[in-house]
């Protein structure tokens, strides 16, 4: 099982995404967060189809921090059920993976 992971999170606006991203990096829960603005999301919620602009957060971190990261995102997020999806990094440049370790080591 890969120790290094990417988490995908969507938010409704850039301000919220920026606040969450800065907090995660400052708290060493993430080494880096990319903000992709905008994305278009078409989804079903409460038996209705929605077509909305959202911001995609691509969070680089370690599996060991996922529970704490999830808890903090839920505290800051405006959605009733935020998208928080973990994807393992199966392979990566060793120096980059080491950089993730160096920048997330203080949060445990």
The label of the residue with tokens 């990417």 reads 6
pTM: 0.95
Per-residue pLDDT reduced to its tens digit, 59-107:
999 999 999 999 999 999 999 999 999 999 999 999 999 999 999 976 4
Alpha carbon separation from 19 to 15, 48, 49, 66, 103 (Å, rounded): 6, 29, 28, 18, 18
7 vs 104: CA distance, rounded Å = 14
HSE toward the beta carbon, residue 88, CA cutoff 13 A: 6
Domain limits at 57? 4-104
CATH of the domain at 38: 3.30.70.120
Total structural domains within the chain: 1
- pLDDT tens, 20-35? 999 999 999 999 999 9
pLDDT of residue 51: 98
């Amino acid at each position: 099982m890969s120790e290094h992971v990417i988490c995908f999170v969507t938010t409704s606006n850039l301000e919220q995404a920026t606040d969450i991203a800065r907090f995660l990096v400052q708290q060493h829960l993430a080494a880096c967060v990319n903000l992709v603005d905008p994305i278009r999301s078409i989804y079903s919620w409460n038996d209705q189809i929605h077509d909305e602009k959202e911001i995609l957060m691509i969070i680089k971190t370690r599996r060991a921090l996922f529970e704490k990261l999830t808890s903090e995102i839920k505290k800051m997020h405006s959605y009733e059920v935020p998208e928080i999806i973990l994807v393992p990094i199966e392979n990566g440049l060793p120096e980059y993976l080491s950089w993730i370790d160096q920048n997330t080591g203080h949060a445990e």
